[in-house]
């Protein structure tokens, strides 16, 4: 039988608040309410104990991407796991339909094996005006039949599709996704405020990296940002790497949406957890310098090199957000959105033993996934 452990002396972040000197019991792969008699006690000496992170939007890491082979996917997953992400939705980038259908098949198998929590299709149904690091020649309108084709290719593992809902077929595609239990995310969009409200009313529930790849907020043209921030039904993704968003913009969004409607994401590309140099994002060349990824052609920001442990540390130490709100944005909120909150997203008995251990400076010291150490802490 798998070992039982009792973590003591932790600053535990629970859905109800922070418990100083709290205990978390792990029995096998799950968190337990009671310790077995033979349980090993592990004193974590005042470290923070928080739930494993859930990343809704991630293209790769460790020099590999989710557009690559099964080995590439495992390399990227492993890299982010070592940075505390125990649940990860793999994001594709714009490519031709045949390539995406094939990739959906490969990713659905890895989802079946429990390596990833599903697939997020970012593109090709996005606006050429807000294409960011997506190939313009491969963009297309969100024809519901083609959206359906991708969802079917994912064999029940499609979790989210980002689309520019103002394009021809956009609203019908949102309805189709909602009917299939797939999140419709508004993003890479040139929509007006009114068009975005229509998309939300049709069933869109996520803002793909709010602020990035959409029109700015204007006082006569409030745009998608205002519509997405003000509606209680929408969760907003934020890339908290200090590059994609000014800290004041992040604070504005966090303050307005409230702690229950924010999900911190990485939008990471291959260079996350790796280093500077030349990489590919789908078919496009990217240069990473000082941890900032930009398209070689045109210089658009091309994803991030962020890992969620860094997003955590930044949110607490630079943005000065309360720890429990940061934990919600990194774990509980995305878990709920994915419908996985019965298994992950908080430190409650019965859930998977997915834990992250952080020291008093919020540096990552340990990661446990389903009861097994991914990064074993040195507590000596």
Binding site for Zn ion (CB under 5 A): 122, 267
Residue 89 structure tokens: 């939705």
Dist CA 351 CA 266 (whole Å): 24
CA 330 vs CA 152, 178, 264, 275, 344: distances in Å = 29, 24, 6, 24, 11
Strand partners for 31: 26
Which of 267, 270, 309, 319 is the catalytic position?
A: 267
Q: Measured from the CB of residue 129, what is the shortest distance to Zn ion in angstroms? A: 17
Bond from prior residue into 124 cis (ω within 30 degrees of 0)? yes
8 Å CB contact between 294 and 277: no
CB of 91 to Zn ion, least distance (A): 5
Distance CA 161, CA 146 (A): 12
Q: What is the DSSP string of 285-349?
A: EEEEETTEEEETTT--B--B---HHHHHHHHHHTS---HHHHHIIIIIHHHHHTT-TTTSSS--T
Burial of 234 (0-12, 13-18, 19+ CB in 10 A): buried
> Within 13 Å and on the Cβ side, how many CA atoms surround 69?
1
Burial group, residue 192, by CB count within 10 angstroms (0-12, 13-18, 19+)? middle
DSSP string, 168-186: TTHHHHHHHHHHTT-EEEE
274 is catalytic: no
- Do residues 4 and 27 make contact, with C-beta atoms less than 8 angstroms apart? yes
| Structure-token match 């790769």, residue found | 60
What is the sign, positive or negative, of the torsion defined by CA atoms of 308, 310, 313, 315?
A: negative
CB atoms within 10 A of CB 318: 12
Catalytic residue positions, numbered:
267
């Amino acid at each position: 039988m798998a070992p039982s452990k009792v973590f003591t002396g932790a600053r535990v972040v629970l859905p109800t608040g922070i418990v100083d000197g709290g205990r978390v019991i792990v029995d096998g792969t799950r968190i337990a309410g009671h310790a077995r008699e033979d349980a090993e006690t592990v004193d974590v000496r005042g470290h923070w104990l928080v739930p494993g992170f859930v990343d809704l939007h991630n293209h790769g890491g460790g020099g590999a991407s989710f557009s690559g082979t099964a080995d590439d996917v495992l390399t990227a997953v492993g890299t982010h796991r070592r940075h505390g992400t125990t649940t990860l939705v793999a994001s594709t980038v714009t490519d031709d339909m045949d390539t995406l259908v094939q990739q959906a098949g490969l990713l659905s198998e890895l989802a079946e094996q429990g390596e990833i929590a599903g697939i997020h299709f970012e593109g090709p149904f996005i606006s050429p005006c807000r294409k960011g690091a997506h190939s313009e020649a491969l963009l297309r309108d969100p024809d519901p039949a083609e959206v359906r084709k991708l969802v079917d290719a994912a064999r029940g593992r499609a979790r989210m599709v980002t689309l520019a809902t103002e394009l021809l077929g956009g609203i019908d595609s949102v309805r189709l996704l909602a009917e299939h239990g797939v999140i419709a995310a508004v993003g890479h969009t040139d929509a007006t405020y009114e068009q975005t409200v229509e998309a939300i009313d049709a069933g869109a529930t996520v803002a793909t990296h709010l602020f990035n790849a959409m029109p700015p907020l204007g006082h006569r043209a409030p745009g998608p940002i205002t519509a997405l921030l003000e509606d209680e039904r929408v969760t907003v993704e934020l890339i908290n790497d200090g590059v994609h968003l000014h800290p004041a913009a992040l604070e504005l969004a966090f303050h307005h949406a409230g702690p229950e409607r924010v999900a911190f994401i990485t939008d990471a590309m291959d260079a996350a957890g790796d280093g500077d140099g030349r990489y590919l994002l789908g078919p496009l060349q990217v240069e990473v310098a000082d941890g900032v990824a930009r398209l070689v052609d045109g210089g658009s920001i091309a994803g991030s090199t962020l890992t969620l442990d860094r997003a955590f540390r930044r949110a607490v130490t630079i943005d000065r957000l309360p720890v429990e709100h940061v934990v919600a944005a990194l774990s509980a909120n995305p878990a709920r959105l994915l419908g996985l909150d019965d298994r992950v997203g908080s430190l409650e008995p019965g859930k998977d033993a997915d834990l992250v251990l952080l020291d008093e400076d919020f540096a990552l010291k340990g990661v446990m996934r389903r009861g097994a150490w991914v990064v074993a802490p040195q507590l000596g």
